[in-house]
Amino acid sequence: MPPAAPERLLIIGHGMASTRLVEELVERAPGRFAITLLGAEARPAYNRILLSPVLAGDSAPDDILLHPAGWYARHGVILHTGATVTSIEPGPRRVVTPDGRIFGYDRLVLATGSSPVSPPLPGADLPGVVNFRNVEDVAAMLDRAGEGRRAVVIGGGLLGLEAAYGLARQGMAVTVLHLMPHLMERQLDAEAADLLRGALESRGLSILTGVTTDAILGMDHVTGVRLADGRRLPADLVVMAIGVRPRVDLARAAGLDVARGIVVDDALRSSVPGIYALGECAEHRGLCHGLVAPLYDMARALAAHLVGEAARYVPSPTATRLKVTGIDLFSAGDFTGGPACEDIVLRDPRLGHYARLVVREDRLVGAVLYGDTGDAGFFFDLIQSGRNIEPIRDTLIFGPALCKAA
């Protein structure tokens, strides 16, 4: 009996999540799938987390590629870069590109990622207003960077601060504008955020929190930003870093169930047979994820499912790290606290160290570390495992060495 022909697996989107899926599949079941990747960007997938070193001048774009182009061919994967998709036709199981090419599939994975949120501000379309999302954005920022020039970064989250620091490394005078009362409010409590703010300001960044941007100023190029309170900030470059939204237009037009993202079950299946969603575009149990760890967990679960294993994606607590020269911070789990929670806090103002652990029903559910993050892995393991910490509660804040001694 002749061997079965490989299943045609078509993946729309060539980013970190879909690349991890391909890695898993070629390792688990080499030759089982005829894999075709359609990526909208002109280059193979790269590590978006490392865009900041590229902006700062510490790395080149090719340094952050996940694999050289030849890797895909060696593993039997057909990669099309610069390839966008016009429509998905679930009936005949095919997709169409703008130039009329048709790609058939047996199974289709949507890994279309997300798009930057661009608020409808006057002047948002001026030259010199950019997002911080891909290599092309970094190139546009570097075109306007330089000693003595001024940048305004709108957004004091993780991406915004990394963009601000990278531009400062390029010699720019940088002001960060943030709508919320403190920086990185999704990852840090107010005390850790205040420490971070002080450290960034000591490195030359100007930071304004609790402010609203009213307009971007300029005629044929950006010249500044106007705040709602009337203040005007001069700028040669404005960077938007206020968030992302899942790319779901293709899925919606094809009739898939879409809420904020493409709705999937525990096997990452969409509402249409044969179509899956993965990564930032997927919505699982009401949540869309943007951090790398859950996206990689999705890829592993989907790969296992595709090769016939009994697998499902189960979300787990996520962690955030930020490292700017001399500044280390970490947060994980639920650090918001509440009536049923207790805080264990350690402060060392002289060394600039701060640690806050959130305990609920003798379980560690959240942690925020600033300055000294050496015990981050230990605390994260406790959050993930749900282990009862009562026997080590008295020494928990001091980390694993004293906990073992206890």
| Domains of the chain and CATH, by start | 7-115+244-306 (3.50.50.60), 129-240 (3.50.50.60), 319-405 (3.30.390.30)
pLDDT in tens, 133-165: 999 999 999 999 888 899 999 999 988 999 999
Sheet holding 363-370, edge to edge: 319-324, 327-333, 363-370, 353-360, 341-348
Predicted pLDDT of residue 120: 87
Predicted pLDDT of residue 363: 94
Query: pTM for the full model?
Result: 0.91
pLDDT in tens, 24-60: 999 999 989 999 999 999 999 999 989 989 998 899 9
Nearest CA to 314 among 300, 334, 303? 300
**What does each of the 406 residues of the chain score in pLDDT, given as a tens digit?**
445 789 999 999 999 999 999 999 999 999 899 999 999 999 999 999 899 899 988 999 999 999 998 999 999 999 999 999 999 999 999 999 999 999 999 999 999 999 999 888 999 999 999 999 999 999 999 999 888 899 999 999 988 999 999 999 999 999 999 999 999 998 889 999 999 999 999 989 999 999 999 999 999 999 999 999 999 999 999 999 998 999 999 999 999 999 999 999 999 999 999 999 999 999 999 999 988 989 999 999 999 999 999 889 998 888 888 766 568 899 998 887 778 889 999 998 888 899 999 999 999 999 999 999 999 999 999 999 999 999 999 999 998 876 765 4
Predicted pLDDT of residue 324: 65
